[in-house]
Amino acid sequence: MTYKTHGTCSSKIDLNIDSDHIIKSVKFTGGCNGNLQGISRLVIGKKAEDVISDLEGIRCGFKATSCPDQLTKALRQAIDEQA
């Protein structure tokens, strides 16, 4: 699925989770390339719910959100779409 981000330098997140909510792939478009590649690799193979718990609410500077926080929103949407 593709999630359009809000309030971050990245503009979208493409991700894939399986029926057990295990993250299979994550790709950010835009943003801090090295950091986002690192986050993407770290979450592969983890349960979406665990990543949501770990990353939700992280802020970037004075922004109300961040790329990791936007990833949690994308994961929630992906889980909801599977239901």
| pLDDT, position 6 | 97
Q: What percent of the chain has pLDDT over 70?
A: 100
How does residue 83 score in pLDDT terms, banded at 50, 70 and 90? Answer: confident
- Rounded Cα distance between 30 and 72, Å, is 17
Phi, psi (rounded to 5 degrees) for 39: -60, -45
pLDDT over threshold 90, residue 10: yes
How many DSSP H helices and E strands does the chain contain?
3, 3
Domains of the chain: which residue ranges?
2-82
Over the stretch 35-66, which tens digit does the pLDDT of each residue have? 999 999 999 999 999 999 999 999 999 999 99
